[in-house]
């Protein structure tokens, strides 16, 4: 006779909704990141999943991983699948519809890596990929080939990256990214920033992060105290919709600004999510009220599986016309397209110049009014004092970023 052991009772599902979690836990960034929603049943406890969302989640294992903090999930409209938070976080089966022109590495980063974790496309600055995890796996992610926690940069990789920066004197600016650098422990991040700050030719350090959006409780006093030691240091974050600009998110951004850390924002233009003048105006005004400077408005990158999220370029330029002139210019970001293949950012600024010659320029104002501007008679724009001001200063080294990799240092 076979004796069967009694089945252990199923463990109760972990609470994920705000009202079911003690405030002390909910406001603990470690708890948030340790309880990311990654499965259908977890998301179904937060929102009423649509058929398209369930289909996308079923296919996601072969597409790109799913993950978001309980905090960010709490911002979802539980009843409407068109919610901009849901569209950014929950996959659709359309991600499997990969077009021929879509690229695994749309920005050509892998071909500009002269050292581990270093992307050097522009002469005077580098991208330093210090971690491969995120607080959300955005459906428009242009680095989905790298992020997800499968192959994190090793200590040896980071040391090699720091060594490359130290031996390349034309590098004046370092942008920490990944993944999300604020997922590093405060102690480790402080150590890394200290090593960068010790390199004499590194003038500015930037951190690209989405945690102020998806996990604002990470911006705590301990982190801010560590960051403020490494000035001049700048934060660029990633708000895409006014729904994300909650009191908690605003408080996190303002805590950084109060510590003397300028905060900029990079928005991605996403079709059906923020692709309206009304949506963009609300976001940019809200950012400025929060003392966050709108920096870039990106045309969507040609990353695999994102064609359904990209906006036509002519539509993007028309949307931009609805910002420029109609709002405080400090609230207007620069509309750019990051040219596929690693060719850099190209401004997509609508032309307001109707005609131009040596005598006059005819412009159209933001309201469409035709205005004449007289050209100056003198054309020489030489600055005579440059010879004095910059005497003995060598010209900028403007070689391609990864020139050292080809042995041309």
* Same domain as 337, residue 372: no
Average pLDDT over residues 317-330: 94
* Same domain as 363, residue 333: no
Burial per residue of 83-104, b for 16 or more beta-carbon CB atoms within 10 angstroms, e otherwise: bbbbbbbbbbbbbeebeeebbe
Long-range contacts of 182-187 (CB under 8 A, 24+ apart): 182/207, 182/209, 182/211, 182/218, 182/223, 183/33, 183/131, 183/133, 183/134, 183/135, 183/211, 184/130, 184/131, 186/222, 186/223, 186/226, 187/226
How many structural domains are present in the chain? 3
Query: What's the pLDDT tens digit per position in 389-399?
Result: 999 999 988 88
More confident residue, 76 or 407: 76
Query: What's the pLDDT tens digit per position in 265-297?
Result: 999 999 999 999 999 999 999 999 999 999 999
* Same domain as 120, residue 91: no
Assigned domain for 295 exists: yes
pLDDT at 322 over 80: yes
Which pLDDT does position 158 carry in this prediction?
A: 97
More confident residue, 119 or 60: 119
- Sheet architecture: strand order including 353-356: 353-356, 360-364, 370-374
Q: Which pLDDT band holds residue 34 (cuts at 50, 70, 90)?
A: very high
Domain with 228, as residue range(s), is 110-347
Assigned domain for 13 exists: no
Assigned domain for 323 exists: yes
CA distances from 344 to 63, 122, 172 (A): 27, 8, 18
Q: Are the beta carbons of 49 and 43 closer than 8 angstroms?
A: yes
Cα–Cα distance, 382 to 255 (Å, whole number): 44
* Same domain as 41, residue 60: yes
* pTM score of the predicted model: 0.89
Cα–Cα distance, 340 to 263 (Å, whole number): 27
* Same domain as 169, residue 54: no
CA distances from 67 to 23, 36, 60, 172 (A): 22, 6, 11, 35
* Same domain as 64, residue 182: no
pLDDT at 358 over 90: yes
36-50, 54-68, 72-86: segment of lowest average pLDDT: 54-68
Q: Give the percent of the chain with pLDDT over 90.
A: 72
* Same domain as 279, residue 158: yes
* Same domain as 136, residue 24: no
* Same domain as 90, residue 170: no
Q: Which pLDDT band holds residue 101 (cuts at 50, 70, 90)?
A: confident
* Same domain as 317, residue 218: yes
More confident residue, 153 or 63: 153
Assigned domain for 81 exists: yes
* Same domain as 317, residue 242: yes
What separation, in Å, do the N-terminal and C-terminal C-alpha atoms of the chain show? 78
* Same domain as 187, residue 67: no
* HEC per residue, the chain: CCCCCCCCCCCCCCCCCHHHCCHHHHCCHHHHHHCCECCHHHHHCCCCCCHHHHHHHHHHHHCCCCCECHHHHCCCCCCCCCCHHHHHHCCCHHHHCCCCCCECCCCCCHHHCCECCEEEEECCEEEEECCCCCCECCCCCCCCCCCCCCCCCCHHHHHHHHHHHHCCCCCCEEEEECCCHHHCCHHHHHHHHHHHHCCCCCCEEEEECCHHHHCHHHCCHHHHHHHHHHCCEEEEECCCCHHHCCHHHHHHHHHHHHCCCCEEEEEECCCCCCCCHHHHHHHHHHHHHCCCEEEEEECCCCECCCHHHCCCHHHHHHHHHCCECCECHHHCCEEEEEECCCCEEEECCCCCEEEECCCEEEEECCCCCEEEEECCCCCCCCCCCHHHHCCCCCCCCCCCCCHHHHCCC
Assigned domain for 342 exists: yes
pLDDT at 109 over 90: no
Query: What's the pLDDT tens digit per position in 297-318?
Result: 999 988 888 999 999 999 999 9
Assigned domain for 261 exists: yes
Assigned domain for 104 exists: no
């Amino acid at each position: 006779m076979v004796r069967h052991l009694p089945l252990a009772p199923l463990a109760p599902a972990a609470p994920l909704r705000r009202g079911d979690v003690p405030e002390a836990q909910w406001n603990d960034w470690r708890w948030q990141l340790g309880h990311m929603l990654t499965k259908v049943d977890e998301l179904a406890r937060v929102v009423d999943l649509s058929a398209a969302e369930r289909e996308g989640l079923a296919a996601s294992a072969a597409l790109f991983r799913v993950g978001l903090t309980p905090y960010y999930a709490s911002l979802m409209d539980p009843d409407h699948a068109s919610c901009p938070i849901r569209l950014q976080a929950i996959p659709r089966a359309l991600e499997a519809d990969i077009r021929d022109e879509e690229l695994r590495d749309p920005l050509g980063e892998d071909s500009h890596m002269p050292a581990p974790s270093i992307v050097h496309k522009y002469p005077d600055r580098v991208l330093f990929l210090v971690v491969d995890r995120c607080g959300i796996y955005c459906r428009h992610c242009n680095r989905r080939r790298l992020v997800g926690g499968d192959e994190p940069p090793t200590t040896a990789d980071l040391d090699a990256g720091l060594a490359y920066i130290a031996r390349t004197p034309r590098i004046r600016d370092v942008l920490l990214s990944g993944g999300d650098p604020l997922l590093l422990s405060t102690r480790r991040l402080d150590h890394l920033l200290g090593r960068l700050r010790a390199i004499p030719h590194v003038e500015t350090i930037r951190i690209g992060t989405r945690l102020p959006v998806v996990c604002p409780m990470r911006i705590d006093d301990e982190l801010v105290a560590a960051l403020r030691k490494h000035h001049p240091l700048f934060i660029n974050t990633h708000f895409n919709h006014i729904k994300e600009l909650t009191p908690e998110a605003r408080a996190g951004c303002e805590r950084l600004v109060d510590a003397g850390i300028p905060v900029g924002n990079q928005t991605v233009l996403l079709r059906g999510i923020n692709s309206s003048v009304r949506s963009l105006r609300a976001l940019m005004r809200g950012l400025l009220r929060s003392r966050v400077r709108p920096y870039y408005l990106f045309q969507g990158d040609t990353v695999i599986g994102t064609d359904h999220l990209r906006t036509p370029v002519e539509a993007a330029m028309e949307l931009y016309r609805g910002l420029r002139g109609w709002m405080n210019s400090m609230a207007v970001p620069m509309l750019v397209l990051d040219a596929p293949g690693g060719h850099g950012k190209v401004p997509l600024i609508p032309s307001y110049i109707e005609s131009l010659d040596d005598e006059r320029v005819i412009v159209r104002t933001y309201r469409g009014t035709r205005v004449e501007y007289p050209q100056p008679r003198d054309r020489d724009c030489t600055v005579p004092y440059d010879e004095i001001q910059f005497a003995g200063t060598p010209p900028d080294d403007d070689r391609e970023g990864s020139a050292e990799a080809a042995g041309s240092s």
